[in-house]
Amino acid sequence: MSPDPYRYGDDALAGELLEGDDIVDPPPTPARKFRKGLGKVFMVAGGVMGLFVVVYAADLMISAGDVPRGVTVAGVDVGGMNRADAEATLRKELDSRLTQPVQVRAGDVEAKLAPKESGLGVDWAATVEQAGTQPLSPITRITSFFTTREVGVETKSDSQTLAQAVDRLAGTQLNHGPTEGGIAFVDIPGSDGGIEASAVEPRQGQQLADLDTAIETVEANWLGPSGIDIAMSITPVKASSEGVRLALEQTIRPAIAAPVTVKGEGRDAVLRPGDIGAAFLITAVDGGGLDVKVNPAKLQETLAPQLAETEKEGKDAAFEFASGAPTVVPSEQARQVSWQKTLQPYTEVLKKTDGRELPAVYDTKDPSLTTDAANALGVKEVIGEFSSSGFSGPAATNVQAAAAKVNGALVKPGETFSLNNRLVSLSSGEFTRAPVREDGTGEQVPGGGVSQFTTTLYNAAYFGGLKDAGHTAHPYYLDRYPFARDAKTLQDDGSTVDMGFTNDADTGAVIQATSSGSSVTVKIWGTKKYRVESSTGPRADVTPPPVEVGPPGCRSSAGSPGFTTSDTRVRYDIASGAEVSRETSEVTYRPRPTVICVPAPPPPTP
């Protein structure tokens, strides 16, 4: 074995060699390598740090007092310039923009704002001042070589003028109400009911969210390169443009492409495209679409006049007196278009390109009184009759008009007849103005004198054995009427009271009323059930008429006394002869004044 070239003693760590040994470098250990490398790193780092400090100090001294690097004002780069140059540069670059309209974006509106008229200007010194001073942070100074920082202008504005300008811009251009999406129809000139449909584009509604905030936004950004965005309060709409387009293309345009024919019995009706469009009910719905429905009433309004002659009004059976005795006028069944059934397939027809037809469907309805039912009512003989006379002139006209309205009236078993309901209105064209009382006195009123007919009808019902349903006696006795058996329609002031009777028999009652000249007759036809007797009571409490002096030109009147009297009606059963009922009514008549007219004095002698 060769001797070990190294020998290590206690002082081996000190690196001493023993005498007689060769000098050889020991192999590097890991610890030795680390110490050597670390020393080199510190030397390099120290050098770099020293260089950085030198560069930082030089950059800080060179740029002292200048605008920081990377600073822009309204998009103009003024970084690194001294403040005077920065202000000059800004004036040069921005001066032309001070008078250019500012682009304003607000919701779905774009508008322009004139700076000068809006009171906007620039404080140049304050703008440069707000760019700040040189930063001391080495990191900030390093990053400024690669980044920019927008500081904006310092606005000098007339606050009142600016507020008015922004508010005016909002009111005239930015604000608008919502427009819901829909369909618009326009007539095609020269066509036979042709129309064109177009989309009504939906548009959100918007209002300026806050005036003060908008003013601040304008002041901060009016010279910015990208314009101004102003916040708006939005009112959304339901429909979308796509939803409107789909409804237009898939539903509306096919529907109005051609007319629709409704085939009636003997005549057709046509819905032209304009009629079809007018009947649509179009509503925007959640989800962006349009709900398209049809208004059947609108279609019926168009079709009904065209199909009217294919329908037939129903008629109840009625009674007439052409031959003197009542005969039955046959009833007629009603036939009417059933619009619900006819229009049920309408929406499917609108989808077709040809064969756009609908059959009219009819409903029939039986009359409330058929011919057979009328014949079974037992209207075969006169059960009560009464006549009166003594009227003339306009009063005769009114009595004849009343008789014509009542003639042929049917009162079914259990029904109550109302004279006022039958006459409807005395102000109608059939009646004229005449004295309110049958003796020719009183105010001129519409229907004056008609109470003569009322009394005649009352007495016919009285002798027909029909039940009194209410009547009012005259305030004064008229010698043309039986005691306590008169009835009136007109009060002295021209207002009306009703007279009626109830048919309490199990057969029908038909009124025959005729008037000619100065007389009127009422007959009631049915099946005679009662024999009627009338008994008049004595006059009591007779009061002589007072005497009055009338005004010049008045009509003299003899007057009449007042008194109280009564009438008793006794009904006997025709079949058995037995008394069925006994009814007494008492009436008090007031005295009618005796009127003495004084001749008018002669006119003065000229």
Q: What is the pLDDT of residue 132?
A: 62
The distance in angstroms from the start CA to the end CA of the chain is: 191
**What span, in angstroms and rounded, lies between the C-alpha atoms of 261 and 265?**
13
pLDDT tens per residue across span 569-597: 999 999 999 999 999 999 999 998 898 98
User: With contact defined as beta carbons under 8 Å apart, do 326 and 379 qualify?
Assistant: yes
**What span, in angstroms and rounded, lies between the C-alpha atoms of 181 and 476?**
75
In angstroms, the Cα distances linking 196 to 203, 273, 274 are 22, 9, 9
CB 319: neighbour CB atoms within 10 A?
Answer: 21
Residues of the chain with pLDDT under 50: 1-21, 52, 54-55, 58, 61, 136
Q: What is the pLDDT of residue 550?
A: 79
Q: What is the pLDDT of residue 5?
A: 45
**Residues carrying CATH 3.10.20, the chain:** 258-368
* CATH architecture, domain defined by 258-368: Roll (3.10)
CB 164: neighbour CB atoms within 10 A?
Answer: 13
Residue 12's contacts (CB-CB under 8 Å, 6 or more residues apart) are: none
Q: What is the pLDDT of residue 188?
A: 94
Q: What is the pLDDT of residue 137?
A: 56
**What span, in angstroms and rounded, lies between the C-alpha atoms of 356 and 270?**
10
0.85 exceeded by pTM: no
CB 169: neighbour CB atoms within 10 A?
Answer: 23
Q: What is the pLDDT of residue 72?
A: 83
H or E stretch including 163? helix 159-169
Q: What is the pLDDT of residue 15?
A: 44
